[in-house]
Structure 1
Amino acid sequence: MTRLPPLKALRVFQFAAESGSFKLAAEKLNVTQAAISQQIKLLEDFFGEPLFLRLNREVRATPSAHRLLPYIQQAFALIEEGSKTLEQDSFPHQLKITSIPSFAAQWLIPKLGAFQTQHPDLSCFVSTSLDLHDFSDDSQDLAIRFGSGGFVGLEERMIANDYILPLCHPMLLEQLNRGERTIDEMPILLDSSQELETLNNAFKAMFGGSSKVALQVKDSSLLMNAALNGQGVAPIRYSLAFELIQRGQLVCPVNFYWHSVFSYYLVAPESYFQRHKVKVFSQWIINEVSVIESTWQVYKQKAGLQLQRL
């Protein structure tokens, strides 16, 4: 393969040749004149001939430099054009979202119609996954994930914290109130995901030990459905259940809650957040999820809930 001159030196050469000045090139590139001179010298050593004549108070491009400049300009123009193709949105009227299953089922899908009413020009495609999408292709524009952040190589924007509280069907609470059942006798429902082990242990300790576990599932939506059907008491995220709580379909039989160690994030490559469709969706979902926090503060105070440490 033919040896190519150093790219950095070529870029310096372009600015110096176009401006006719090492000083102006240094100002544009935010480096010193000495750094410009050093890069030009590297290029002259590579080609084995001078590219600039150093005069007392100025530099002057040589005929060789004039011959070289149009090629360098064209090369960098092609590089810039190629870079822009990677940043461009191939499908500006399609918004492709990957979400964790529980959030998609219990929150996003029921509310997405309001977003589409505001933006009828956009078609929305929602898929579900617990894995973090790598964005190596055009299959997704944005990911909604529940975690502790630190999504390497991607831009992340936290949109909401969450809270976990014991919830059950009102029927079970009525049994407690009538003395037909005690807290220790309530069946326990758990999410068996490994990262929730600390929470599960704390929950079991509150409700009388591991022998009371009636059901374990690996999906928050399934856990909530089991609680809705009166199968027991479960640690459920407020973000998924707050409307059911407001309607009285789920109730809290005790007066404590936990802070979730995870939060909701929008995740994508940094350039994707500059796409119009991602911008409008991001603003919409931030506004919508703010309702969760405001209703939580009201509910927590009204119910007299006390924070428990995990």
Structure 2
Amino acid sequence: MTKNRLRLPPLNAIKAFHAISRHGSIRAAADELLVTPQAVSQQIKLLEDTLQVALFERRGRSVESTEAGLVLARYVEAGFEELAEGVRRVTQVKYQNRITLNVSPYFATRYLLPQLEDFRENLPGSDLRLTTMVETPDFKRDDIDVAVQWGYGDFGDLDSSLLLHDHKMICCAPDMADQIKTPADLCAQRLLHPVLTNTLWQDILVFLGVEAADISSELAFHDAATMRRATMSAMGVGLISRVDAVQDIQAGNLVAPLGEDLLSLMPKDQIPGFYLVLPRAHRRAEGIRQFCAWVCARDWSQRPD
């Protein structure tokens, strides 16, 4: 018995749909495709007739995607990304074995760099290029294959896998400890936090039963290392990654005025972490797939000394 095959629409119709979805305008789509607006409209009608579903609603000179159009647009965009990545990989020799990796500076220095030699031994033919950046990169513009980024796991349409939770500890310089006897005392201090969009202090204060609106002063830092140094210098109260805080407390450089285990019961969705992040299409490349498998298989909670 012959199976019924899905009838796929013509490529020109898909290209017209893709262009309109990005521009929100038939004329702009026509300009990109170097055809007339009438030709674009005909391709969209052909696509809607083929699929038997309305994809756009006309509103004067502009168009708005229907719910079905929004769903289809995500898959079409992913399909074009995979096609572009495939063409890049097979036509440019320099990319065939190259893996361009962008990593959060903290994760790179504290965790990844001491382990990279192990990856090279397991995949000796790979050409690994490492850059560091606090913000999530633009994978197309920055020519990045895969990234490890700090956050809460919300990276839009990108694939993400949690590698390690970044548990925090409330710390201050020893000279400031006497000023912080209860969670409410935090509001009278300058609170130090990362400049990246986050809800760390707000979530912590709510967890401790403190009104976040009462915060007197805040200071944001671009990276964790700078914030850690600022905390040691008594510039304010910092949220220090637990593995570093334990070392600093043992060395006498910092104290945890409210206790080292105060935040241990924070809800997991409020605890940031380091995530493997990349466009789904990039996993098609064998080297990137192997790198992702290597990264995800490791226990990053066991940080090398």
- Which amino acid is the alignment partner of residue 146 of structure 2? L
- Normalization by structure 1: what TM-score? 0.51
Structure 2 residue 135 is matched with structure 1 residue 124 = no
Q: Which runs of 5+ in 1 are unaligned?
A: 1-22, 37-80, 293-310
3-state SS in 2 of match to 1:191? strand
Distance 1:142 1:83 in 2: 13
Distance 2:157 2:218 in 1: 41
In the TM superposition, 1:248-287 aligns within 5 A as 250-255=254-259, 256-257=262-263, 258-259=266-267, 260-286=270-296, 287=298
Give the percent of matched residue pairs that are identical in Structure 1 and Structure 2.
Answer: 21
Structure 2 residue 114 is matched with structure 1 residue 140 = no
Larger Rg: 1
3-state SS in 2 of match to 1:135? coil
Structure 2 residue 89 is matched with structure 1 residue 99 = no
Q: Is the 8 A contact 1:204 1:210 kept in 2?
A: no
3-state SS in 2 of match to 1:160? strand
Measure how far apart 1:238 and its partner are. Answer: 3.0
Measure how far apart 1:131 and its partner are. Answer: 3.7
Task: State how many pairs are aligned.
Answer: 213
Deviations 1:9-65, CA, capped at 9 Å, x for gaps: xxxxxxxxxxxxxx5xx43xx439xx89xxxxxxxxxxxxxxxxxxxxxxxxxxxxx
Measure how far apart 1:277 and its partner are. Answer: 2.9
- Normalization by structure 2: what TM-score? 0.52
In the TM superposition, 1:191-210 aligns within 5 A as 191=193, 193=195, 194-196=197-199, 198-199=202-203, 205=210, 210=215
The equivalent of 1:85 in structure 2 is: 87
Q: Is the 8 A contact 1:188 1:204 kept in 2?
A: no
Distance 1:105 1:279 in 2: 23
Distance 1:161 1:91 in 2: 32
3-state SS in 2 of match to 1:85? helix
Distance 1:237 1:31 in 2: 54
Change (3 A) 1:162 1:82: closer
Distance 1:100 1:195 in 2: 15
Q: Is the 8 A contact 1:107 1:240 kept in 2?
A: no
Q: Which runs of 5+ in 2 are unaligned?
A: 9-82
Distance 1:108 1:267 in 2: 15
Change (3 A) 1:238 1:284: farther
